[in-house]
Amino acid sequence: MNHDLAMTAETLAELDAPQRGSEWRQHWPMLLVATAGMMLCTVHVYTLGVMVAPLEREFGWSRTQIFSGPLILALTGLFVTPMIGSLVDRIGPRRVGLIGVPVFCCSVALLSTATASPASWWVLWFVVSLASILCGPMVWAAGLNSRFVKNRGLALALALCGTGAGGAFIPALTEAFIGALGWRQAYIAIGALAAVITVPLVLFAFHPLGQAGSVKAMFGKSGGAKRAQGGRSLYFQTRYVKLALAMLLFGFPVSGVIVNSVPILSSNGFTQASAAALAGVIGIGAIIGRLVGGYLLDRLNASKVTAVAVMLPAVSGLLLLSGPTSPVTAGAAFMVLGLAVGTELDACAYLTAQYFGMRNFGALYGMIMGLLVFSNGLSPLIASFIYDKMGSYMPIMWASVPCALLSGLLLFSLGKPPASPDADPV
């Protein structure tokens, strides 16, 4: 092997360690931190819905003005996430996490300083957007990928269950803080509590492979140069374009359906309460899909497992297009949709590492995450615009069918992953 591409002896020994013992026994603290980090990523999202009523009362803002925050998040993520991904490659996920976690917690607390001017709200959300990327999923995924090899898929799946835990606990916690302290102090309390829990975890238990998980630590002195050289060319490699396009085709229509799931059912005769209850099936399906998908990624052909998963929304779309007037049909459509969504995000991280290695993981995964964040912010607005103009969500559901099928075909065409993706940067 070329000396410039050879890993250090220390790194090779660490890579061989899982062969001598259990990854779970050795690296469970990393999994705990990554799960907490994934939960932290959702704080600003899951607090917003609970904050709507207090903000309306105090400032008289419209809901469009209040929910402009996620759109700012989407636009920022599109351009900044790839750059932060490169930073993860350069200095390692540990150092990025140690910076990002406290900065993000402070940015959440700063939302308490909003004034009656919507511009102040937009500026604060821009700060939150930047900070959230510094402690986003690619930081925790990079750390896990560096430690878990045999059980990588399941480890990523378990960590990503932190987002589901965030959805389960953060809204109720936010409501309790608002009732006791008011909305401004609630934002401060949430930011402080998040910092107290996550900062010590990252400081004492988040130790990716190598000194900090950086490319130089993992691949020696030439790692940075090879990372830059390989990263630029990998962006245009056919396999990477296929993977990125497949994730974008999957995410764009699906996020529009998920966010508008309650209105979709309401337009088919369901009451608001029953529509909300049925929409919750998506979350249950996502948890099941995450765990089962992670298990299968470790044991079967990962690209084919992901291809089948991303095609499932075609089934959901057809069920919803049939006019779901029964809870069984609607529940089945949303369960299938949840299974697909649960598999997709950890599969994306898994496939990026499997096909392109860890040398450029942050930059490559960051680019895909930026596209997903942008599409997830834009798609619900487009779906709502279509409904306002046409009085129906059917176009977005029709779009989900070919998009899901094409996404799956792109993943099926990836072929066999390279035996040593880090040893031969393009």
Half-sphere exposure of 306 (CA within 13 A, CB side): 28
- 100 or 20: which carries more pLDDT confidence? 100
- pLDDT at residue 221 above 60? no
**pLDDT at position 96, please?**
94
Q: Tell me the range of 93-107, 160-174, 299-313 where mean pLDDT is highest.
A: 93-107
- pLDDT at residue 160 above 50? yes
Q: Tell me the range of 147-151, 379-383, 401-405 where mean pLDDT is highest.
A: 401-405
Nearest alpha-carbon partner for 161 in 60, 268, 294:
294
Per residue in 308-330, pLDDT (tens digit) is: 999 999 998 888 888 766 888 88
Q: Is the pTM of this model over 0.75?
A: no
**pLDDT at position 426, please?**
39
**pLDDT at position 324, please?**
64
Kindly state the average pLDDT of the residues 31-37.
Answer: 94
Mean pLDDT over each residue of the chain, to the nearest integer: 81
Interatomic CA distance for residues 320 and 268, integer angstroms: 9
Which helix (H) or strand (E) covers residue 340, if one does? helix 327-356
Q: Look-up: residue for tokens 């934002």?
A: 187
Q: Are the CB atoms for 290 and 346 separated by under 8 Å?
A: yes
- pLDDT at residue 24 above 60? yes
Q: Are the CB atoms for 213 and 34 separated by under 8 Å?
A: no
Interatomic CA distance for residues 214 and 208, integer angstroms: 9
The token duo for 276 is 């909300």
Per residue in 80-104, pLDDT (tens digit) is: 888 888 888 888 899 999 999 999 9
Q: Structural domains in the chain?
A: 1-229 (1.20.1250.20), 235-417 (1.20.1250.20)
Per residue in 38-59, pLDDT (tens digit) is: 989 888 888 877 787 889 899 9
Confidence of residue 108 (pLDDT cuts 50, 70, 90): very high
